[in-house]
Structure 1
Amino acid sequence: MKRILVVDGDTGVRARIAKHARMEGYDVTEAGDGETALSLSRQQNAFDLMVLAVNLPGMDGFTVLKAVRTFSAIPVLILSSKNTAEDRIHGLELGADDYMTKPFSARELLLRISAILKRCSTLASEEAEVLRSGGLVLDLTARRVEVDGRQINLTPREFDLLTVLMSHTDVAFSRKRLLDIIWGGELSTDTRTLDTHIQHIRCAIVPYSDRIVTLRGVGYRFEKE
């Protein structure tokens, strides 16, 4: 049974999400503020996904997400009352896997949750369980990344992006193709978000950053050793 943490300061909204998620067979834990959410998410392998509202008492959802990404790669679906491109991009750049606006359809929310969990599960069940490039190691089953024996944290999107590149060494990927693969076509023209994710990955995998090569006017390629 998949475990979901629902974080929202609105008791009614939180209860509604929890009710429908439980009806779909999910094990749901609720939190009404960011501090509680952080405390719960620090528990080892406590949850498979977090539904995180931006508007929270005290610490807002974006701050919570930024903090979570320092220690966990748990998939996060952001809920916000704002429907601006700036807020959506900000959430994705912080490491959110999806972004929905309120009011929302409970059915659509559950479909998005299912899609995120399915994507993570599919990537983890690839034939090659471990990808290696020198001291850079991706364990697809555990969704763990190591650099020279040191474990590092990548967001789920960053992990998926690095997996695609490392699974196809010396293959040139256009920006649009990568956006289609990782974001399902939702951000087909938003190359800034993709470039930001690549930058984060490069910073995390030093000294192997130069394995990800920028192809000017095209996209990216992961080079063999």
Structure 2
Amino acid sequence: MRILVVEDDPTVAGVVSDYLLRAGHTVDHAADGPTGLDRAVGERPDMVVLDLMLPGLDGLEVCRRLRAESPIPVIMLTARGEEDDRIAGLEVGADDYVTKPFSPRELVLRVESVLRRSQAPGPIRRDPLTAAGLTLDPETHRAAKDGVELTLTLREFDLLAHFLAHPHRAHTREELMREVWEWDFGDLSTVTVHVRRLRGKVEDDPARPRLILTVWGVGYRFDPGEPE
């Protein structure tokens, strides 16, 4: 796969690029936000590994603008350990994040996981899924609400597919991480953010969700109405 690394620190960029090359990928590099955005939009790599702190345009703004143009998978790199910074990256559409200092091998595993999901026909099944005005086709990787196509990130698409395939079932956040994204480790706030973003796209009133419900003390449940 062709991966664009947007990182202004030449040492970090070199280490990340070397490990990705060893894993068999083709790697391009941009050292600032505007150049990275131009290359991501114009050249459409298979993935972008994006630093949060960049000259010219920070990583959050690059990701926000990229999401308006393309669903290319994005992994965010951040030197900060605060939860707010990690969540901010997910809120603007990043599929995953890795906090510096990080293990290059862990980063490669994260990259492989996201790429595997992006190339798969669907996380649950290949048949179209429908419920509560929502339709999702894993074959074409398209989803719609009341006939209007939804713009979903890779993580949001997988999450919606899982909910549609398992209506009326309560899921813990740990189960969603494991069953939807095949993660055995990670910050559970990742699930919370992706659920919130998905609600913003499928709910009539995201502040008062009627489809993706919070099950207090457990996690979440997709409730399309009365079971058939």
Report the TM-score when normalising by structure 1.
0.82
1:116-135 alignment, distance < 5 Å: 116-122=114-120, 124=122, 126-135=124-133
Q: Which of 92, 104, 107 pairs up with 1:106?
A: 104
Q: Which moved more, 1:166-175 or 1:123-132?
A: 123-132
Aligned residue pairs total 220
Q: Which moved more, 1:94-103 or 1:153-162?
A: 94-103
Give me the identity figure in percent.
38
Verify: 1:186 aligned to 2:186, yes or no.
yes
Q: What corresponds to 2:220 in structure 1?
A: 220
Q: What corresponds to 1:7 in structure 2?
A: 6
Shift of 1:135: 3.8
Read off the aligned partner of 1:95 and give its amino acid letter: G
Shift of 1:57: 0.8
Secondary structure of the residue that 2:129 maps to in structure 1?
strand
Tell me how far apart the structure 1 counterparts of residues 166 and 200 of structure 2 sit (CA, whole Å): 21
Q: What corresponds to 1:198 in structure 2?
A: 195
The 3 A distance-change label for structure 1 pair 203 and 102 is: closer
**Given that residues 130 and 137 in structure 1 are in contact (C-alpha distance below 8 angstroms), is that contact kept between their aligned partners in structure 2?**
yes
Read off the aligned partner of 2:32 and give its amino acid letter: D
**Given that residues 179 and 187 in structure 1 are in contact (C-alpha distance below 8 angstroms), is that contact kept between their aligned partners in structure 2?**
no
Q: What corresponds to 2:211 in structure 1?
A: 211
Q: Which of 67, 70, 73 pairs up with 1:69?
A: 67
Q: Which moved more, 1:160-169 or 1:80-89?
A: 80-89
The 3 A distance-change label for structure 1 pair 107 and 175 is: closer
Shift of 1:172: 1.8
Post-superposition CA distance 1:3-30 (Å, at most 9, x none): 2111111234323322332232212222
Tell me how far apart the structure 1 counterparts of residues 95 and 62 of structure 2 sit (CA, whole Å): 14
Across the aligned residues of Structure 1 and Structure 2, the Cα RMSD in angstroms comes to: 2.7
Post-superposition CA distance 1:114-137 (Å, at most 9, x none): 122223444626432422225422
Shift of 1:77: 1.3
Tell me how far apart the structure 2 counterparts of residues 70 and 184 of structure 1 sit (CA, whole Å): 30
**Given that residues 4 and 27 in structure 1 are in contact (C-alpha distance below 8 angstroms), is that contact kept between their aligned partners in structure 2?**
yes
**Given that residues 70 and 153 in structure 1 are in contact (C-alpha distance below 8 angstroms), is that contact kept between their aligned partners in structure 2?**
no
The 3 A distance-change label for structure 1 pair 19 and 93 is: same
1:130-209 alignment, distance < 5 Å: 130-181=128-179, 182=181, 184-188=184-188, 190=189, 193-207=190-204
Tell me how far apart the structure 1 counterparts of residues 150 and 35 of structure 2 sit (CA, whole Å): 24
Tell me how far apart the structure 2 counterparts of residues 200 and 37 of structure 1 sit (CA, whole Å): 25
Shift of 1:185: 3.6
1:32-47 alignment, distance < 5 Å: 32-43=31-42, 46-47=44-45
Shift of 1:59: 0.8
The 3 A distance-change label for structure 1 pair 170 and 83 is: same
Structure 1: 5+ residue stretches without partners: none
**Given that residues 123 and 162 in structure 2 are in contact (C-alpha distance below 8 angstroms), is that contact kept between their aligned partners in structure 1?**
no
Tell me how far apart the structure 1 counterparts of residues 84 and 8 of structure 2 sit (CA, whole Å): 23
Q: What corresponds to 1:81 in structure 2?
A: 79
Post-superposition CA distance 1:73-113 (Å, at most 9, x none): 32211112222333223223333232223343333322221
Structure 2: 5+ residue stretches without partners: none
The 3 A distance-change label for structure 1 pair 103 and 170 is: closer
Report the TM-score when normalising by structure 2.
0.81
The 3 A distance-change label for structure 1 pair 24 and 134 is: same
